[in-house]
Amino acid sequence: MNYKVSVVIEKDESGYYAYCPELPGCQTQGDSFEETVANIREAAEVCLETLSADELREISRKEIVSTNIEVKVV
């Protein structure tokens, strides 16, 4: 079965860091963006394999919305 999960990827001084907000503890890093995407996909698959049927149903019901907002700093 396929699941869609949200992924946040941040660039930092040593490469890229990624995590899945709906899968606590599911995180990874990589030297390139492409490597990080591959790594987080693998990490998410491993995390999902450890979940019970009830937990998988809960994950599939979660909706995480991401957007950019403008913030004024005074």
Secondary structure, 3-state, 14-29 = CEEEEECCCCCCCEEE
Contact between 25 and 15 under an 8 Å Cβ cutoff? The reply is no
**What distance in Å separates the CA atoms of residue 53 and residue 47, rounded to the nearest whole number?**
13
| Domain limits for position 12 | 8-58
Domain tally, the chain: 1
The one-digit pLDDT tens for each residue of the chain (74 residues) are: 888 899 999 999 999 999 999 999 999 999 999 999 999 999 999 999 999 999 998 888 888 888 889 999 98
Predicted structure pTM score: 0.83
- Domain holding 46: CATH number? 3.30.160.250
